[in-house]
Amino acid sequence: MLDNSVAGGIPHGMTPFESIVKECEEEASLSEEISRKSVKAAGAVSYFFQNARGNLQPEIEYVYDMLCPSADDPAYIPKPLDGEVESFELMSWEEVVERMLAGEFKRNSALGSSIPLESAVVQETI
């Protein structure tokens, strides 16, 4: 299943932004300096996860965009580091939507991916 580029739980005492900076380094080999200057808050998604026994667990996902000046700049090219990520794949928004609709993304990842997509659609129509 396809997933977000970088994700993770927020440890006690850490802000969502500090957590995403840490996860960028751990999961994608993106430096703290690059993450701090390029990662911007995009929104949040809340939902309930239902386990096999039917119990509900509330979830909140903080969504961030990372602005990359060039797809060729090695400082911005994610590389697996901690073994949690198999690989990274650059996709157009059209491909993201197509693969979401085909059920290739984890459900919670598709929810988070919809925020930047909505922003792009709004900006394109203005």
Residue 59 included in any domain: yes
Phi/psi class of residue 103: alpha, beta or left (left: φ > 0; alpha: ψ in -120 to 50)? Answer: left
Number of domains in the chain: 1
Alpha-carbon distance of 70 to 68, in angstroms, equals 6
The predicted structure's pLDDT at residue 93: 80
Residue 11 included in any domain: no
**Which helix (H) or strand (E) element contains residue 64?**
strand 56-66
Residue 2 included in any domain: no
Q: Which CATH number do you get for residue 28?
A: 3.90.79.10
β-strands 39-50, 56-66 pairing = antiparallel
Residue 1 included in any domain: no
Exposure b/e, 112-126, CB count within 10 A at least 16 = b: bbbbbeeeeeeeeee
Question: In terms of residue numbers, what domain contains 35?
Answer: 16-125
Alpha-carbon distance of 75 to 29, in angstroms, equals 9
Residue 28 included in any domain: yes
The predicted structure's pLDDT at residue 86: 87
Residue 75 included in any domain: yes
Residue 73 included in any domain: yes
Residue 36 included in any domain: yes
- Per-residue pLDDT of the chain (126 residues), as tens digits, is 777 788 889 999 999 999 999 999 999 999 999 999 999 998 888 889 899 999 999 999 898 988 887 778 888 889 999 888 888 888 888 888 888 889 888 877 777 665 555 554 444 444
